[in-house]
Structure 1
Amino acid sequence: MSEAFPGPHGAPASVRVPVLRLGDVLLVTLQGDLHDSTAQQLQDDLAETIVRSGATGVIIDISGVEIVDSFLGRVLAEIAGQTDLLAARTVIVGMRPAVAITLVELGLTLPGVHTALNTEVAIELLTGQAVSSRSGGLRRETL
Structure 2
Amino acid sequence: MSAVFTSPHEGRVPVLKLGGVLLVTLQGDLHDGTAEQLQQDIGETVAASRVSGVVIDLSGVEIIDSFMGRVLSDIAAQSRLLAAETVVAGMRPAVAITLVELGLTLPGLRTALSTEEAMRVLGAEAAYVVRGGHERRERP
Q: Does 1:82 align with 2:78?
A: yes
Query: Quick check: which one's strand share is greater?
Result: 2
Give the equivalent residue in structure 2 for 1:55.
51
| Residue 3 of structure 1, CA deviation | 9.9
Identity over the aligned pairs, expressed in percent?
67
| Residue 106 of structure 1, CA deviation | 1.2
8 Å contact 2:66–2:102 — kept in the other structure?
yes
Match of 1:102 among 92, 98, 105: 98
Give the equivalent residue in structure 1 for 2:111.
115
**Partner-residue secondary structure (3-state), 2:122:** helix
Larger radius of gyration: 1
Q: How many residues of Structure 1 are paired with residues of Structure 2 in the alignment?
A: 119
| Residue 76 of structure 1, CA deviation | 0.4
CA distance in 2, matches of 1:27, 1:75: 16
Give the equivalent residue in structure 2 for 1:137.
none
Give RMSD over aligned pairs. Answer: 1.8
TM-score of the aligned structures, taking structure 1 as reference length? 0.78
Where does structure 2 lack aligned partners over 5 or more consecutive residues? 1-6, 126-140
| Residue 128 of structure 1, CA deviation | 6.5
More moved, 36-45 vs 112-121? 36-45
TM-score of the aligned structures, taking structure 2 as reference length? 0.80
Please tell me the residue identity of whatever aligns with 1:108.
L
